Structure 1
Amino acid sequence: MSYFRQYFWRIVGALLGVLGGFLYWRFIGCSSGSCPITSNPYMSMFWFGLIGLLLGSSNKKGEKRVDRQE
């Protein structure tokens, strides 16, 4: 359970990104097939999921940033 709590926002961000990638491919996508990301649903879902994962991992509460002065 602690694993799920630790990575909750990353998992949610990735799942929302995958869903967003699918919806983008389905409703907006590239009809000609010349777009490398949006012409294929798997590539669209992969890249949007990766972006969602990165955005979800940026939401960390409770960690203090320590700036070192040299």
Structure 2
Amino acid sequence: MTKKQYIVTGIGIVVGLIAGYTYYFYVGCASGTCVITSKPLNSTLYGGLMGGLLFNMFVTSPKKKDK
């Protein structure tokens, strides 16, 4: 991976972490039976994973040069 790919994926992870915690804070799970949204750590980490994967989709790989 190139430096640009790491940066874009890292930004996606940070955005996902923020979105995951925000989802927990405003929506969450009142009963505590929801696996992902019952705890802030679970929701935040899941958001970071999804954000990293989402932003990584938009990164283009470097083209190979023909010899």
User: Runs of 5+ in structure 2 lacking a partner?
Assistant: none
Partners of 1:43 and 1:62 in 2: CA distance: 31
TM-score, structure 2 normalization:
0.81
User: What is the count of residue pairs matched by the alignment?
Assistant: 63
Q: How does 1:24-63 map to 2 (within 5 A)?
A: 24-61=23-60, 63=62
Identity %: 35
Work out whether 1:7 is the aligned partner of 2:6. Answer: yes
Report deviation, 1:63.
3.6
Partners of 1:4 and 1:28 in 2: CA distance: 35
Partners of 2:51 and 2:12 in 1: CA distance: 4
List structure 1 segments (4+ residues) > 4 angstroms apart after TM superposition.
none
User: Runs of 5+ in structure 1 lacking a partner?
Assistant: 65-70
